[in-house]
Amino acid sequence: MFIRLLKYNVFNGSKSELMKYISEFSKVNIVSGNPEVLYNGLYNDLLLKNFTSPSTVIIPDGIGTLLASRIVGRPVKEKIAGIEVMEDIVKKCEKKGKSIYLLGARQQVLDRCRENLKKKYPLLNISGSHNGYFDLNDCENILEDIKSSNPYAIFVAMGAPKQDIFISQNMDKLPCRIFMGVGGSFDVFAKKVKRAPKWMIALGLEWLYRVIREPSRIKRLVLIPKFLLKVIDFNKSRSKTG
């Protein structure tokens, strides 16, 4: 059910298999494994420890990760978009009466995201929320708020690596069952940003759509070839030693 990519195990199944798989954990961190996130992990011990821990499940998100799986000769069956997993967890929480906490984004975006989620899922219990603009090393008040609202799932939308650092630093301290870094997903639920049309998603061109809408993102694309080169190098050295 997993493929090996660099130092990571990456989930290789469908979204419904993932939902079933994560339900068996007493505590789990779901990482949207796009090239940026996985590349960051190679150069940060805290992140690497978390991403390779038995409580973390990395999902193949992003065309770069799909290409990388082909390079290592184990193409993943499907791309799993983090935002869709978030929405499936939200639906499950609404159905089962479990609460969620939203952490991240600018206050206005967060408020709109909250409102829109409540409109779409009226029975959803959002036990708390906080914007994503705070010091990661000085956030006791936020941790206390999360602890006291005791959510089943927490979604952290602060972009990489901030959201992953927050989760790595605090996963053991917080009572939540599911942790998930969801990047710009609150912007999408708030309708500040649109997801690419379905045909572009199907062709693996979501990145292109996002760059056209927000040209400043182009800088971040450099990481994809860097990541792929790393995968090629890693693969070569493994086949030499193996």
Q: Which residues bind ligand UDP (CB under 6 A)?
A: 104-106, 109, 132-133, 157-160, 162, 183-184, 186-187
- In the bound state with ligand UDP, the residue whose beta carbon lies nearer, of 151 and 184, is 184
Task: State how far the alpha carbon of 120 is from the alpha carbons of 39, 94, 152, 153, in Å.
Answer: 35, 10, 19, 18
Please check whether residue 168 is in contact with residue 46, taking contact to mean a CB–CB distance below 8 angstroms.
yes
- In the bound state with ligand UDP, the residue whose beta carbon lies nearer, of 100 and 105, is 105
CB of 20 to ligand UDP, least distance (A): 25
Phi-psi map region of 91: left, alpha, beta (phi>0 left; psi -120 to 50 alpha) = alpha
- In the bound state with ligand UDP, the residue whose beta carbon lies nearer, of 57 and 158, is 158
- In the bound state with ligand UDP, the residue whose beta carbon lies nearer, of 77 and 162, is 162
- In the bound state with ligand UDP, the residue whose beta carbon lies nearer, of 51 and 234, is 51
Cα separation, 226 vs 68, whole angstroms: 11
CB of 111 to ligand UDP, least distance (A): 13
CB of 196 to ligand UDP, least distance (A): 12
CB of 186 to ligand UDP, least distance (A): 5
CB of 234 to ligand UDP, least distance (A): 23
- In the bound state with ligand UDP, the residue whose beta carbon lies nearer, of 75 and 204, is 204
Question: Nearest-CB residue to ligand UDP?
Answer: 132
Cβ within 8 Å of residue 186, ≥6 positions away = 102, 104, 105, 109, 110, 113, 155, 157
Q: For the chain, what's the residue count?
A: 242
Cα separation, 183 vs 200, whole angstroms: 20
> Structure tokens of 217?
């993102």
Cα separation, 49 vs 151, whole angstroms: 24
CB of 159 to ligand UDP, least distance (A): 3
Cα separation, 41 vs 103, whole angstroms: 21
